Amino acid sequence: MKTTPPVVLVPACNRVLGQHGFHVAGAKYVEAVRLAGALPLVVPDASEAELDALLDLADGVLLTGSPSNVHPSHFGEEVRDPALPLDPTRDAWTLPFIPRLLERRLPLLAICRGAQELNVALGGSLHQAVHTLPGHLDHRGQGETAESLYAPAHEVHVQPGGLLADVVREGTFRVNSVHGQAVHRLAQGLRVEALAPDGLVEAFSWPGAAFALGVQWHPEWRARDNPVSLQLLRAFGAACARQATHRNQFKQRQEE
């Protein structure tokens, strides 16, 4: 029997190149989905009426990082630094999409901006400039080249008993760090999974699904060379594969 890999939706970012708008997704995120054993499907944007049709196709969702910030109006604040990029097109559909995908208990891996988006979609708020907060590290990447920006920057301490502890089986490991914003108020219903040495929330889960995890670092960067990233991606891929089995069984029953 022919087996098809699970389908993972990857919501795109939006850019203007020359005189035209483009939907773009970072290649490293698309590759990470493949590394997880799934078929990546980049979604440009979606209207409210299209959300359920997209969810019917999906066995999982990966929310990518991005240079853009979630618009702070979504957590009741004004833009603090107008020089920083925003992506209202992405916000407009991913924020309503997230509760819908969680309702279906679809596997979700949310990375950096994606994790921030997950928190805001469920009613949480963000620090707009972590590096200005007393007692906090500067979590923005250092250096000019990608190698230095995505180099390991600090440790994270995994909270015992949760999804991350179950997947990585290491209490402490080092992560890269390429963000100016971060979780301020964690949305109700989310569980802290890891903390930075300055107390910043580095990972959190939504316990209603088998695998719904937000991480503030970038496991997709050089994932093949990083045992923790591989463990994370494989666990996400396995959850998507289980979801695909359920989806196919459901489809078969409907066709009988």
Q: Are 205 and 214 in contact (CB under 8 A)?
A: yes
**Looking at 1-9, 63-71, 73-81, 192-200, which segment touches ligand LF53FM6H (CB under 6 A)?**
63-71
**CA atoms of 130 and 134, how far apart (whole Å):** 9
194 binds ligand LF53FM6H (CB under 6 A): no
Q: Which is nearer to ligand LF53FM6H, 54 or 112 (CB)?
A: 112
Q: Are 80 and 131 in contact (CB under 8 A)?
A: no
**CA atoms of 6 and 72, how far apart (whole Å):** 34
Figure out which of the listed residues 6, 60, 124, 180 binds ligand LF53FM6H, where binding follows CB under 6 A: 180
Q: Which is nearer to ligand LF53FM6H, 66 or 226 (CB)?
A: 66
C-beta of 188: minimal distance to ligand LF53FM6H in Å? 22
113 binds ligand LF53FM6H (CB under 6 A): yes
Distances from the Cα of 192 to the Cαs of 120, 154, 185, in angstroms? 15, 18, 11
Sort 84 into a burial class: Cβ within 10 Å, 0-12 / 13-18 / 19+: middle
Catalytic residue list: 112, 218, 220
Binding marks (x or -) toward ligand LF53FM6H, 150..179, rule CB under 6 A?
----------------------------xx
Token pair for 60: 């999982």
Binding marks (x or -) toward ligand LF53FM6H, 23..42, rule CB under 6 A?
---x----------------
C-beta of 114: minimal distance to ligand LF53FM6H in Å? 7
Q: How many CB atoms lie within 10 A of CB 157?
A: 14
C-beta of 184: minimal distance to ligand LF53FM6H in Å? 12
Interface residue list for ligand LF53FM6H (CB under 6 A): 26, 65-69, 112-113, 178-181, 218
